Structure 1
């Protein structure tokens, strides 16, 4: 009899242990914080007094995620050439390796841009309408080798979006690198230019996934390479020239319109997506974040999605203006001290959109805000810059997630690098954004289910106090603490 009682007790304890195990989510938690964590793995807790609850709803599905990453610019690739082999490899591993950020979506420029060493075009010969002298030789010393090395490092591969800042000056009405418009007599030549670019890169073993028609078609105040389009002009060029040419030449490449700030996105959506004829060659809209340091403009993103739910949105460029000598001070990236172009240059009625800001918050807040409003990919600007924020022929200094001093062969990974990795490393291409419920308005959250079934939840805590969180999925849950001023990624694994 006593033996039976003992057996019953042991069975009961075993069942309780099983139930306890069954009720716990299998999670890995990674944190980057102002206190010094850098993608640090932290342990889940048994805290039952969590004030914050995040409930994941995987049955509520939204957009597919294309990827996250940064840009191959001439400035970045040139600096990589100045480093020793060990540091060069370390950076490529940090961005593309399995133990690094695993970048999956990238961008590069067609012809020169502000982050080039000088002005150049692949078609320098004036009047060469058939582009017989077209050549990508300018890219062979820097951009092309860097892309190829990244391809070797990347296990899953990555997509490349290419954008022109301007056509060759001889095709433009002002015959200048800055501003002006493409002359109608060269519309077909400029369309041929894109086709040749894709072909020449393909010969190098590099596939171009997507094109944007023009970087910042509204201009940049004539400060560096640019070429202006109205929405109507861009639609005309794409629908009658670029789209048909790419199709005729057999290019399976995506075409994105606009490629500038979200504050004028609605107007472009209205015209690009006016009807089947205007939109048929556009695969989506490319956008930038420079209209505001804090407002990710969800209304414009929602409006654009509603206008064309079958088209994509890709955030194609973002960066922090350079703040010398703060570049290697971790603490600075967590303080509200950074300023952007609008701090000095914005019209008075737009000044409120450009206050001082916290760089880490700006990145994490914008990525989360974009994902929660139908954006499918997010691309940072330069991957590597020097301690001044260049090199840059236009003296348009900016920061990058990785800063190098080529003279000393030194490398500094800023907190922005780790912030971006919270998304790129754990939310993989082909993931689907899923629903969640959150009872704390002070946190920002997004969630996505990866193709392998794992779920990545990214949490941003901008408050100066830590928070205790309970994460729930169905009947299972896990508790953990997010530090003050921190970004956290929780990976929920499938039960084995």
Structure 2
């Protein structure tokens, strides 16, 4: 199946549209890409319908905020396994769609250390108990699917991409409950577990895959008695990093590896960054904080994000996992992804006091509004969960079904690019690493927007319209002005290119 983003290659990347609304204004060179409930899929627009009301968006490049690390998704065993079940042609198509120049150009990704819920089974790279020096350590499990798919993606990516690796748990024999689920790391294995990270980084480097960063523990607060997990308090994690993990990586010439703390939902950010960054000694080995979005289906938690940034303004703040969870995905049904039918784990299971944080939501809006909200509150990277899942929302040993932007049916060698794929592309394709978020004034709260100044000189403005009617937009930038329209229920990325003298 040819997906619409290929059409972008047919058209020159920057087409010039001259504003004729005001002869006194300088011309503004723009491209407008739209994804909408009406059927646009990252479509390059040349004509715009008029709406009744106008929103003014004033861009201010002099006001500069965080530098962008990247956007992308995760190489889980489930994703890699499914891609390897597809024909070579289909597999290459999906990898091009995510990493190629004609695709989403993912720049920041994640994978798991040992197994996770989106693995085919429980496994550890060091299964032999009390192997203190980890002589039995081996990443052989990853050589069937994960490593070949990462390497194939590397070949597709012109600019390359960063990888964050996260453990869901240490091997059960290192834990106080000798279980895959829950429990804590026994203190006598602190150095052994730190060595485990170092060996993993070296083993992947030997495969030609350089790990950019690690999180200390996926969801250290736990996930109930469900899939792989291991518990840390903020102070326990800080102590482990300060006295074991950081020094071990430093001793093994791996101090270039970014260490991200926490790695769970945003509503607890304050207590974690207070511990991680309580003084210069404790914060020395931390390069940033990782967060997830599962505390709410619509609340960005701006106060917590602002607090985390102010606590450590020179550290990363990266969203490392998000997905439409607790849902079986809809196959080739674009309308569902634009409808208010999706729910999450909290719809059924959240305590009554938290039910209001888990309403039904439109999947496209959830992604777009969260990314925009995160960017506008100092987050510098945003990583989706599984890149590819099957029609059931797996495979997953725990049967923890979820939705992915791309769905695959290996039996029929078919692939479905959901509207979430195009939503992610609006950010990942057009907001490049080292872009800097810039100032933006919006005359209404009925639209959501964010803007960056890219390294190539272009400005990328992303606008979300959740309303049932189109809106006129007057874009202003340093004496330049352009009138546009965004469709009803639509996401637009507007690329403004520098004026050529």
TM over 0.5: same fold? yes
1:117 aligned to which of 120, 134, 142: 120
Range 422-431 or range 22-31, more displaced: 22-31
Instruction: Give the root-mean-square deviation of aligned CA atoms.
Output: 1.6
Q: State the match for 2:30 in structure 1.
A: 27
1:231 aligned to which of 207, 231, 234: 234
Looking at structure 1, the residues matched to 332 and 487 of structure 2 have their Cα atoms a distance apart, in angstroms, of 23
Looking at structure 2, the residues matched to 219 and 323 of structure 1 have their Cα atoms a distance apart, in angstroms, of 21
Mapped contact 1:29–1:44 kept (Cα < 8 A): no
1:201 aligned to which of 187, 201, 204: 204
Q: State the match for 2:61 in structure 1.
A: 58
Are 1:243 and 2:246 counterparts?
A: yes
Q: 1:325 to 1:232 in 2, by over 3 A?
A: closer
Are 1:338 and 2:381 counterparts?
A: no
Deviations along 1:261-298, one digit per CA (max 9) or x if unpaired, are 00111110111111112111100100000000010100
Looking at structure 2, the residues matched to 366 and 134 of structure 1 have their Cα atoms a distance apart, in angstroms, of 39
Q: Normalising by structure 2, what TM-score?
A: 0.94
1:144 aligned to which of 147, 164, 170: 147
Looking at structure 2, the residues matched to 494 and 21 of structure 1 have their Cα atoms a distance apart, in angstroms, of 19
Mapped contact 1:43–1:480 kept (Cα < 8 A): no
Are 1:315 and 2:332 counterparts?
A: no
CA-CA distance at 1:118 after TM superposition? 0.1
Number of equivalenced pairs: 481
Looking at structure 2, the residues matched to 45 and 168 of structure 1 have their Cα atoms a distance apart, in angstroms, of 57
2:263 aligned to which of 259, 265, 270: 259
CA-CA distance at 1:470 after TM superposition? 1.0
Range 199-208 or range 303-312, more displaced: 303-312
Q: State the match for 1:9 in structure 2.
A: none
Are 1:76 and 2:74 counterparts?
A: no
Deviations along 1:174-216, one digit per CA (max 9) or x if unpaired, are 0000000000000000000000000000000100000000000
Deviations along 1:294-323, one digit per CA (max 9) or x if unpaired, are 101001000111111111100000000254
Q: 1:209 to 1:21 in 2, by over 3 A?
A: farther
CA-CA distance at 1:328 after TM superposition? 2.5
Deviations along 1:132-189, one digit per CA (max 9) or x if unpaired, are 0100000001000000000000000000000000000100000000000000000000
Mapped contact 1:322–1:389 kept (Cα < 8 A): no
CA-CA distance at 1:51 after TM superposition? 1.4
User: Which runs of 5 or more structure 1 residues have no equivalent in the other structure?
Assistant: 1-15
Mapped contact 2:328–2:401 kept (Cα < 8 A): no
Q: 1:348 to 1:46 in 2, by over 3 A?
A: closer
Looking at structure 2, the residues matched to 153 and 310 of structure 1 have their Cα atoms a distance apart, in angstroms, of 32
Range 325-334 or range 199-208, more displaced: 325-334
Looking at structure 1, the residues matched to 421 and 172 of structure 2 have their Cα atoms a distance apart, in angstroms, of 36
Mapped contact 1:178–1:226 kept (Cα < 8 A): yes
Mapped contact 2:328–2:403 kept (Cα < 8 A): no
Deviations along 1:77-96, one digit per CA (max 9) or x if unpaired, are 00001101111000000000
After TM superposition, the structure 1 = structure 2 runs for residues 443-454 of structure 1, keeping only pairs within 5 Å, are: 443-454=447-458
1:366 aligned to which of 366, 370, 389: 370
Looking at structure 2, the residues matched to 467 and 409 of structure 1 have their Cα atoms a distance apart, in angstroms, of 40
Looking at structure 1, the residues matched to 252 and 330 of structure 2 have their Cα atoms a distance apart, in angstroms, of 49
Looking at structure 1, the residues matched to 164 and 448 of structure 2 have their Cα atoms a distance apart, in angstroms, of 28
Q: 1:104 to 1:468 in 2, by over 3 A?
A: same
SS at match of 1:292: coil
Q: 1:272 to 1:231 in 2, by over 3 A?
A: same
CA-CA distance at 1:24 after TM superposition? 2.0
Q: 1:413 to 1:322 in 2, by over 3 A?
A: farther
2:188 aligned to which of 177, 185, 188: 185
Mapped contact 1:66–1:105 kept (Cα < 8 A): yes
Mapped contact 1:111–1:120 kept (Cα < 8 A): yes
CA-CA distance at 1:109 after TM superposition? 0.1
Q: State the match for 1:347 in structure 2.
A: 351
User: Which runs of 5 or more structure 2 residues have no equivalent in the other structure?
Assistant: 1-18
Q: 1:358 to 1:43 in 2, by over 3 A?
A: same
Q: State the match for 2:406 in structure 1.
A: 402
Are 1:467 and 2:467 counterparts?
A: no
CA-CA distance at 1:478 after TM superposition? 1.2
Q: 1:46 to 1:26 in 2, by over 3 A?
A: farther
Deviations along 1:451-488, one digit per CA (max 9) or x if unpaired, are 01100000000000000111111111111110000000
Mapped contact 1:48–1:479 kept (Cα < 8 A): no
1:478 aligned to which of 476, 482, 486: 482
Mapped contact 2:327–2:344 kept (Cα < 8 A): no
Q: Normalising by structure 1, what TM-score?
A: 0.95
Q: 1:451 to 1:72 in 2, by over 3 A?
A: same
CA-CA distance at 1:223 after TM superposition? 0.3
Looking at structure 1, the residues matched to 203 and 329 of structure 2 have their Cα atoms a distance apart, in angstroms, of 40
CA-CA distance at 1:239 after TM superposition? 0.2
Are 1:276 and 2:242 counterparts?
A: no
Range 327-336 or range 429-438, more displaced: 327-336
Looking at structure 1, the residues matched to 44 and 113 of structure 2 have their Cα atoms a distance apart, in angstroms, of 40
1:102 aligned to which of 85, 101, 105: 105
Deviations along 1:200-238, one digit per CA (max 9) or x if unpaired, are 000001000000000000000020000000001000100
1:134 aligned to which of 133, 137, 140: 137
CA-CA distance at 1:22 after TM superposition? 6.3
Range 322-331 or range 190-199, more displaced: 322-331
Q: State the match for 1:379 in structure 2.
A: 383
